[in-house]
């Protein structure tokens, strides 16, 4: 199983800021989310992670060796990094949503994210078919991986919302990937239950 995990919350996430390559740590609630994720998910055969601090802190809670892979880093928002969504005008948002090849000033297109993530997913297919592979990443790469699993284009990214510390599951054991879970938080509830 390919298990995609979004990192826990940061202060920037809490305040609704666009957070790309900026590298803040998890806030206290994000650290707790990461610990709950690690308790609620199976021990992975492989743990792959974005190189950004918020993802590495989340991955560290699993207690297994971490493989850093730059292909899972968040989209580069360029000059919009750290800004509130309201700082981009309606025409700017429309251009971004209408064209997956649109590049925000100094940043990266959704198509570029999709290309690198599809390569990363293809590299994990065989291992994820045999055992659980957890990838700790960010909103845009997770959206790109979901698009890969569904066999659709990068333009669907704007139709998804990925929550803090959410889990998505992709079965790679068949001839094509199958999306089994999206934005799953059931793992959180299970991890908070007392042991029997």
At residue 186, the pLDDT reads: 59
Eight-state DSSP code of residue 173: S
Q: Give domain limits for the chain.
A: 2-192
At residue 194, the pLDDT reads: 42
At residue 176, the pLDDT reads: 97
Question: In this predicted model, what pLDDT tens digit does every residue of 105-127 receive, in sequence order?
Answer: 899 999 999 999 999 999 999 99
Q: Which residues in the chain land under pLDDT 50?
A: 189-196
At residue 192, the pLDDT reads: 44
The phi-psi region of residue 11 (left if phi > 0; otherwise alpha if psi is between -120 and 50; otherwise beta) is: alpha
**Sheet containing 67-68: which strands, arranged edge to edge?**
67-68, 46-49, 133-137, 2-6, 167-171, 178-184
Eight-state DSSP code of residue 65: -
At residue 196, the pLDDT reads: 35
Residue 168 CA, distance from chain mean position = 9
The phi-psi region of residue 63 (left if phi > 0; otherwise alpha if psi is between -120 and 50; otherwise beta) is: left
pLDDT > 70 fraction of the chain, expressed in percent and rounded: 94
Nearest one of 25, 127, 6, 27 to 72, comparing CA atoms: 6
At residue 105, the pLDDT reads: 86
Does CATH place domain 2-192 in 3.40.50.1240? yes
Nearest one of 175, 112, 153, 37 to 120, comparing CA atoms: 112
Q: Answer for the pair 8, 30: CB distance below 8 angstroms, yes or no.
A: yes
Tokens of 149: 């699993």
């Amino acid at each position: 199983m390919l298990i995609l995990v979004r990192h826990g919350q940061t202060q920037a996430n809490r305040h609704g800021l666009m957070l790309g390559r900026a590298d803040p740590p998890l806030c206290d609630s994000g650290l707790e989310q990461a610990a709950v994720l690690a308790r609620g998910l199976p021990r992975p055969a492989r743990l792959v992670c974005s190189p950004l601090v918020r993802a590495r802190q989340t991955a560290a809670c699993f207690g297994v060796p971490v493989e850093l892979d730059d292909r899972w880093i968040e989209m580069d928002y360029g000059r919009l990094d750290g800004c509130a969504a309201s700082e981009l005008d309606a025409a700017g948002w429309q251009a971004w949503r209408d064209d997956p090849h649109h590049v925000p000033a100094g940043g990266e297109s959704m198509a570029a994210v999709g290309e690198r993530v599809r390569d990363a997913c293809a590299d994990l297919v065989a291992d994820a078919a045999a055992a659980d592979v957890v990838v700790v990443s960010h909103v845009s790469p997770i959206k790109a991986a979901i698009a890969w699993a569904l066999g659709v284009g990068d333009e669907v990214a704007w139709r998804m919302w990925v929550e803090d510390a959410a889990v998505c599951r992709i079965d790679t054991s068949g001839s094509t990937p199958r999306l089994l879970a999206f934005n799953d938080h059931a793992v959180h509830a299970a991890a908070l239950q007392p042991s029997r």
